[in-house]
A and B are shown apart, each in its own frame.
Chain A
Amino acid sequence: MTELRAYRRPVSIWWWVRKRSYFLFVMRELSSIFVAWSVLFLVVMIGAVARGASAYQQFIDFAAHPVVVALNAVALAFIALHTVTWFSLTPQALVVQVRGTRVPGWVIIASQYVGLVVVTGFVSWLVTR
Chain B
Amino acid sequence: MTETNEDRIGLRVSRYRPETDTRPGWQEYDVPLRTEWTVLDGLNHVKDEVDPTLSFRWSCRMGICGSCGMNVNGEPRLTCGAFLSDYAPGPVRIEPLSNFPVVRDLVVDIDDFMQKLPRVKPWIIRDDDVTVVDGEYLQTPDELDAYKQFSMCINCMLCYSACPVYGLDPTFIGPAAIALAERYDLDSRDRGARERLDVLIEHEGVWGCTFVGECTRVCPKHVDPAGAIQRYKLKAAQENVKAFLLPRGARR
Contact = CB atoms under 8 A, between A and B. Distances in A.
A6 interface: yes
A99 interface: no
A48 to B, nearest CB: 35
Given A8-B101, A92-B224, A22 B167 contact: no
A41 interface: no
Contacts of A19: 74, 214
A92 B226 contact: yes
A9 B216 CA distance: 24
A22 B212 contact: yes
Interface string B205-226: 0000011111011000000101
Contact of B101 (A6, A16, A22): A6
A87 B212 CA distance: 14
Interface of B: 16, 18-19, 21, 23-24, 74, 98-99, 101-103, 109, 142, 164, 167-168, 210-214, 216-217, 224, 226-227, 230-231, 233-234
A9 B212 contact: no
B212 A6 contact: no
Task: For chain A, give the interface size range.
Answer: 20 to 34
B214 A92 contact: no
A11 B109 CA distance: 17
Interface string A5-23: 1111101000110110110
Contacts of A29: 210
A89 B103 CA distance: 36
Contacts of A25: 164, 210-213
A107 interface: no
Nearest to B168: A11
Contact of A93 (B16, B18, B227): B227
Given A6-B101, A94-B234, A100 B142 contact: yes
Contacts of B213: 21, 25, 89, 92
Interface in A1-56: 2, 4-9, 11, 15-16, 18-19, 21-22, 25, 29
